[in-house]
Amino acid sequence: MRWTLTESIKKNPKSIKIALIQRITDQISVFRDDLYPYLGGGNKARKMMALDEIIKSQGVNAIVTTGGIQSNHCRAVALYSKKNNIKCTLVLHGDQERLFSESGNAKVIKGSGATMIFSNACEIGKNMDVALRTYREQGYNPFYLNGGGHTLEGGYCYTDELEKLVDSGYVPDYIFLASGSGTTQAGLLAGVTRKGLDIKVIGISVGRTTEKAENCIQEFYKELCKTYGIDGKRAKVIVDDSFLCGGYEKYNNQIKQIADDSMANYGFPLDTTYTAKAFYGMQQIIEKRHITGQVLFWYTGGIYNYLAK
């Protein structure tokens, strides 16, 4: 499929934000968050860099966080730590043998020098606390980082990103994205609120039920608005769990086909865990609900998951 630059780019070639918009159909454009130039790109890298000032100002010299063996978040944290000569402990849930047999994020994590602790899901918090205490006993000043980069700073960087995008001249009617921890979606919603726009931000759940996802995002969105003084009409949180295919990392034949054809069709890789699932959900919603207007797919990155096996 041939893709072209939007008219906005042609009229304003110096606009970096608009230059990240890739039009793939007359109706659908893609925000290329994978082109974020730090820590391997994607939303997890952007959220990690949002903590850069805090980490440096507080003299942090060790980080403890958690994620799966193909975690984009853990990859970003591990690379940030290595670049800044910071100790890093990753409490990983998943099979140890799988980590050492797979590529993608797992390969980056293995080569980062981070300490890896493999944990059952029910013991993640305990193991993170132990790692944090150990660093303190050794004289370090450690930073406890929630899985997925779920921080107010990480959410707000997407509030800021949405505002910059709108200010550069691009205002879609809908934004679709893969919805996991919900930090990115909440940040975008806060940006919509601050700008006083009527953009509908629709998350396609990659693992959680609609009720759980919407409740979590709603609370985080409210906290973002309160913390950063964002006033205005509260945006509606929308998360669709119709495309879970049984849960996290599960997918159907249509999602698999979208992922397999993504490089040829669009020039960027969609992975079955996150972005191909979200892309499929977006396509189905547009078709079944007869959605008109301009649609922006917020591509949060996918190359490492795409190349994992």
Q: Three-state secondary structure along 191-248?
A: HHHHHCCCCEEEEEECCCCHHHHHHHHHHHHHHHHHHCCCCCCCCCCEEECCCCCCCC
Which of 6, 72, 17, 22 shows the shortest CA–CA distance to 268?
22
Residues in Cβ contact with 112 at an 8 Å cutoff, skipping those fewer than 6 apart: 75, 78, 79, 81, 82, 88
Question: Tokens at residue 105, please?
Answer: 């994020």
**Contact indicator for 68, 169 with CB cutoff of 8 Å:** no
**Would you mind telling me the total number of residues written for the chain in this entry?**
309
Angle at 7 between CA 5 and CA 13, to 5 degrees: 70
Residues in Cβ contact with 198 at an 8 Å cutoff, skipping those fewer than 6 apart: 192
Which of 282, 273, 290, 274 shows the shortest CA–CA distance to 240?
282
- Alpha-carbon distances of 59 from 47, 96, 138, 152, 209, rounded to whole Å: 19, 32, 15, 20, 39
CA distance 278 to 183: 16
181 is catalytic: no
Q: Is 61 exposed, middle or buried (0-12, 13-18, 19+ CB in 10 A)?
A: middle
Catalytic residue, from 8, 15, 29, 71: name it. 71
Catalytic center residues: 71
